[in-house]
Each structure stands twice: as C-alpha cells, then as structure tokens.
Amino acid sequence: MDTLKHNTGGLMLVLTVLFFSGQVLQVSGLFDKVKVIIANELERPLTLHCKSKDDDLGRHVLQHWKEYSWAFRVNFWQTTLFWCNFQWHLQRNILVEGSFKIYEARKDQERCQKSCIWILRQEGLYLKDTNRHGWFKIYRWPLPESITT
C-alpha cells in the first residue's frame, strides 16, 4: 500500500512540474482573445464567408477600403482554425473565388500573436507578420483559366 502511495505521489509531482513548466499548457496568454482583421484593398466589392469547425460567421460584403473583424479564444489543444471563402469580380464577367486558411493556431500564434491583419489586394492576400516586421504575400488568387491562358 505504501508503494502505491509513493508511486502516485511521484506521478503527481511529475505532472505538476510539466504543467507549470509550460510543457503541457502554455498559461501565458491562453485566455487572451485573438483578433482577425481582413481589409479590402481591391478596387471593387468583395464577398467573404468565414467559419471554423464550431462557428459560422456568415456572409459579408466589404466595399473598397472597408474591413471585417472578429475575436475569439484559441482552444486548449491549439487546433483552432478559421478559413474564409472570398469572391470578387476582376472584370464584369470574370469572377475570382478562393478559400484560404486565415487563422491556424499553431502557425499564427507565433507570426501574428494577438492580432492577425490581412490585406486583400489584386495580387493576393498579405499578412502582417509581427516577428519579421512586415507584410508578406501568403496566398495568390486562383485566377480563372480564361485569364491564365
């Protein structure tokens, strides 16, 4: 019986050390909200529809120079993922559509920390990287075949 108590106590000690050392859980900032901002720098309206596994943020139309934002908490397992579907007209009869990962916890906690800012331009989608202090093109728009050929 004493051996069982000793082993259980040792296990609890190891788990406690791991917990507080951040190996199991990063306490710093865990409960802070993350804000995602999407700004339309296209010269035309943009339709977006963003969602995660648990949340559907609905369809929104952004006019030129307008932005859309939302805030959330990253889940315990750091698997939070938001993606957005975008549509805009390059020309009157040419629709550009794309679906992109806009927030992926394991990547974006490092590169944009508590505020992920996206700028959508005709050349692609740019993310402000707070670690490298600048804007970087992360995605290109998938252009229709009639444009690329």
> Which residues, in sequence order, are CB contacts of 38 under 8 Å at separation 6+?
48, 50, 62, 67, 68, 69, 84, 102, 118, 120
Percent of the chain whose predicted confidence (pLDDT) is above 70:
77
What single-letter amino acid sits at 37? I
Query: What class is the 31-148 domain?
Result: mainly beta
| pLDDT band, residue 118 (cuts 50/70/90) | very high
For residues 116 and 112, give the distance between their C-alpha atoms in angstroms, rounded to a whole number. Answer: 5
Q: In the numeric block, which tokens belong to residue 49? A: 């529809």
* Amino acid symbol at 89: H
pLDDT confidence of residue 103: 98
Is the distance from CB of 130 to CB of 107 less than 8 angstroms?
no
Predicted local confidence at residue 2, as pLDDT: 56
* Lowest mean per-residue pLDDT among 15-19, 40-44, 63-67, 117-121: 15-19
Biggest alpha carbon distance in the chain?
80
Task: Identify the band that residue 130 occupies on the pLDDT scale cut at 50, 70 and 90.
Answer: confident
9/23: higher pLDDT: 9
**What would the mean pLDDT of 68-84 be, rounded to a whole number?**
96
Q: What is the pLDDT of residue 33?
A: 94
Mean pLDDT (whole number) for 21-39: 69
The residue that leads in pLDDT, 99 or 16, is 99
User: What whole-number distance in Å separates Cα of residue 96 and Cα of residue 89?
Assistant: 6
DSSP secondary structure code for residue 42 in this structure: S
- The better pLDDT of the pair 43, 23 is held by 43
CATH 2.60.40 residue ranges in the chain? Answer: 31-148
